[in-house]
Each structure stands twice: as C-alpha cells, then as structure tokens.
Amino acid sequence: MSVLGVGSTVFGRHPDQGAVELAVAAARQAILEANVARERIGAVYLGNFVGGVLTGQEVLAGLVADGLGLRDVPCTKVEGACASGGIAFRHAVLSVAAGLCDVALAVGVEKMSHAGTAAVTQALNCALDHMADGPSGLTYPGLFALLWQAHARRYGTTREQVSAVCIKNRRNGLTNPIASMGSEITADMIANAAMIADPLTLYDCCPISDGAAAVVVGLPELARGSRADPVRVLASVQTSGGARIAAHGDLTSFRATCAAAERAYAAAGIGPEDVNFVELHDCFSIAEIIDAEDLGLVPRGEGGRWALEGRTDRGGDVAINPSGGLEAKGHPVGATGIGQIYEAVQQLRHRHPNQVTGARIGMTHNLGGTGVACTVNILGRE
C-alpha cells in the first residue's frame, strides 16, 4: 500500500472558510500530487468530531466529495473523538487492501475557532462518558493534570522536564509553515503562565484551531505516476481502550496506545528501535511523555528526562513531533490524525522544513477521548 499524495491547509484560524471549503482545498492538493484520475477514487472517508455540534453541518463526507466533483462514490464520515482523522486514514487503507477500490481518499477537518472557549470545551466533552464521568465536572485539562500528578508521583517527573516538551515543540513550530503557534518560549514563561488545571499552565495546552488535511492512498503500482516520491504504509492499526476514567487502572499509561503499538510493530516487522521519528498526540505536554513511553520509544518513566536532555529533539535518539505537534500546529480535532500523516510523508520524502536526517521509518499516533480510540501507523520510504 502506498501514499500517492498528501495535502494540508495551515492549521490556525480561518474566519472566511468553512469546514467543507477547508477540506476541499486540502483534498485538491492531495489529488493533484497523486496524479490520479478522479474517477479512479473509489471511496472517501472523512474524519470529523464536532462539526455538527459547533457548525450545525453534518453529511460532510458527501459535501466534500461533491465539492471535488466525485460522483457515485461511497462517502463516509468517521468519528472517534480526537482519533477521527487517524481512523479515516485506516479505513482508506483497508478499502484498498481489501480490493474494494484501487484508490481511496482520506480527509480530516474541523472548524472550531469561531466558537468561544466554553462552547468548544462543552463540545470536546462529548468524548467523555456522560453517565459515568459527566457528574464529576472534569474536563480534558483536568484529566491530563491528574495524569501528570500520577506520573510525577511514580517517576519523579518535574515541571522542568515537562517544560522541555513545550519549548521543543513550539520551537519546531517556528519553522513549520503550516503551524499556527510556533514561538520561542522559556521555562519561566511556561511556569508563570495562566494556570489552567494544576499543574498545567497555558503553554502546556494545545490551541483551538481550524484546518484540514488529506491523503490519497492506492495500489503500489500506481505510485509510479505520482508527482512526488511515494511512501509505503507498513502498518495501520486501530485499538480501543477505556471509555471512562474509572476504567484506567493506571493513570500513567493508555492501554489502547500500548496495544496499537505492539500490533503495528508486528505488522511492519520492525521494533521501536527502528523508528526515526514519530508524530504523536501531544494534546497536552504531559501526553507527549506518556505517549512516547507507551509506544516503546522511550523507557518507561524516563520520558521527562529524555525531553530535558534533548534526546527527543530532531538530532536526538528519536525525533518526537518535529512538526511542532499539536502544541505548535494546533488541534483541529478531526484533521489532526491526517495532518500527522502529512508531516510523516514529508519527512520520508526528505522535504520537511524540520527534516530529520536520514529518516526512513516514521510513526504516527492519534488518541481520542480518555483513550477510548487509538490509531498507530508506520510508514517507510519506498
């Protein structure tokens, strides 16, 4: 299976464009780069989480296909909270792998910045189990603050170590033209920023954003016609985990990520030591540390130390979020998983503005809700 083409909008604020316009723009880029006739596209999968809640518009997959001039094509919107984009990509891969079509299009999109913080928070809380967790009043910043506290108690993770994640990712975002929040920040700035949920401050949290990304996948023999270097899909795995907070016996790990990583390595025939870089789900700074450990890329309990020592920078042992991640790019929820694929493909083509030297194998990781849905993909150079 090959990635034939990718496209992405800038992740940020798009006051003059709606979700459909953003998605069509990203998909057009991907189709142009793939250099395939549109009539060869046999399926469209669109990842979106809160379009209906925040914009009042559903049937987005069909609207996007119509905007692209695709006719009589099965169009499916998929939703898995923050993992919606990753699931859309996997469905596209499976459609081609199953022989249902030669080419499939995966798109991810979200339009969020027009809504106020309270409305966005309420919408994102749709990913909680309202019967079990709703009465607690807990939001996602509160949840990840609890995870940080648990990680600190068990492993001694410090504010300085977690700040190193923020500093690295915002710095990477400065040189990524599709990132909205790149900046030079200091440990003092992070520690003294507005407290969101102790110990998370403002710089520990990814920003609300709009954006879209798209990927065309197809049979390997079609890769010869692509306008860019093709990239192989070595593994595409989806798992489920605890749908409610009480289902997590260990607040320092997500079971869904551990299972997805194990299966992805087995499918690709590699180990974590073979991965050159990863674009993972850093919705909050502490999430990068936990995710890296769950993926087996960093020893358990040492994620904070590795970040502080620079071992997760572009020139370190394994480059984590060289794009800037969600913290620098923003988190247009439905688009994030596809956006990670976009970044990984550019790395493997050796065309990324934050290029990881010699990158040959890359990974993406997209996590939704309280860990209820997870996708892990492994990509490699042709």
Yes or no: say if 362 and 278 are a contact pair by the CB < 8 Å rule. yes
Give the pair of three-digit tokens for residue 187: 């440990």
Considering the candidates 91, 151, 248, 331, report the single residue annotated as catalytic. Answer: 331
Contacts of residue 42, defined as CB under 8 A and 6 or more positions apart, other chains included, come to 73, 74, 95, 100, 101, 102, 103, 104
Active site residue 331: yes
Active site residue 205: no
Strand partners, 236: 377
Bond before 199 cis per omega within 30 degrees: yes
Considering the candidates 82, 166, 206, 258, report the single residue annotated as catalytic. Answer: 82
Give the pair of three-digit tokens for residue 141: 């910043």
Yes or no: say if 377 and 244 are a contact pair by the CB < 8 Å rule. no
Catalytic positions, please? 82, 331
